[in-house]
Homo-oligomer: A and B are copies of this chain.
Amino acid sequence: MKRRDPTIYQVAEGAGVSITTVSRVLNAPHRVNEDTRKKVLKAIEELHFVPKAEASARARKDFKRIGVLTPYFTEPSFVQRMRGISNVMMGSEYELIVYAVESLAQLRGYLDMLPISRRIDGLIIMSLPLRNGDAERIRDNHLQTILVEYNHPFFSSIEIDNEYGGRLTAEYLLGKGYRRMAFIGEAGEPPYSLHPSAFRLTGFQQALSKAGVPLTEEYIGLNPLNMERVIEQTNLFLDLPEPPEAIFACSDIQAVGVLKAARRRNLRVPEDLAVMGFDNIDLADYMELTTVDQSLDESGRTSVEILMGRLTDPTRPIQNIKLQLNIVERSTV
């Protein structure tokens, strides 16, 4: 003879509350009075109650889960967006699932799977390219999605204008009187990720040309995101017959490499060499790095907010947001 597992009903009876309350202490503990919660928990313990996953799944209309699909999960700039996301999610009833991508195959896998496997309510796609087929599948399966650093007509998005960022930097540096400049960007990026570096370069180059100080080949260094390579590249620049007076690194992390190289050569910054970064991650403040702020935290925060908005009311319109870019003056320029 089988003894039936205890149900939420016996727990409710045991604790002297309604089944709703029991359900709530399991799914939204903060919405239950502390004492009640303890009573229920005690009853649960005593009865060795284990909720039947299938029954919950059946009754549940949604999962209250938001997924974040992201490359370089632990790179500072991504972490900072994550911080924004995490901050708003923490106050909510949603769980945060991280899908870290490190290969094209993996990205494809997630994009195929996520909209169909139905385990999340909403998806934030960070700095990852979407093909039309993917977009259609996501839309057809009604998976609420927002794109960060990318866009597609089907979805809301949050971006910055990278080209403008390049121009802005050029103008700022020009305004400070620098003429001979160099650019350090990313190269050999994996095929699954986006390449904002190229756009920043375009804008930078454009503005420089317009000002009559074109950026020639030897002053452009594209390297894999790797500290040593950046240092080497900087040395290459500095060994040029006419070394640059200022270097624009397309990310703060790369700017650190430039700074390191300068330090090793006992160069004064910014007197001997000005250094400009991009992103304004916490590190930039720590190192007193002059950089372009792209509101990373805000980007993350807003992305979840928009997503949650549509989750609670799917009729809300798609939004395409362009975040502002601002130069943060510190001491390396």
Binding site for B on A (CB under 8 A): 1-5, 25-27, 29-30, 37, 41, 44-45, 48-54, 56-63, 73-74, 79-80, 82-83, 86, 89-90, 95-100, 102, 105-106, 109, 112-113, 116-122, 137, 140-144, 227, 256, 260, 263, 283, 285-288
Query: Given A90-B102, A137-B45, A52–B59 Cβ distance below 8 Å?
Result: no
Query: Given A51-B117, A286-B287, A57–B58 Cβ distance below 8 Å?
Result: no
- Residues of chain B lying within 8 A (CB to CB) of residue A112: 25, 29, 37, 41
A45 to chain B, nearest CB (A): 7
- A49-B116, A97-B98 known, 20 other contacts, Cβ within 8 Å: A1-B142, A1-B143, A2-B142, A5-B118, A25-B113, A29-B109, A29-B113, A48-B140, A51-B117, A53-B118, A59-B117, A73-B83, A73-B86, A74-B82, A74-B86, A96-B98, A227-B285, A260-B286, A283-B283, A283-B286
- Residues of chain B lying within 8 A (CB to CB) of residue A27: 113, 117
A1 pairs with B90, CB closer than 8 A: no
Total copies of the chain:
2
In the complex formed, the residue of B with least CB distance to A253 is B286
Query: Given A74-B83, A90-B106, A50–B116 Cβ distance below 8 Å?
Result: yes
- Residues of chain B lying within 8 A (CB to CB) of residue A5: 118
A209 to chain B, nearest CB (A): 33
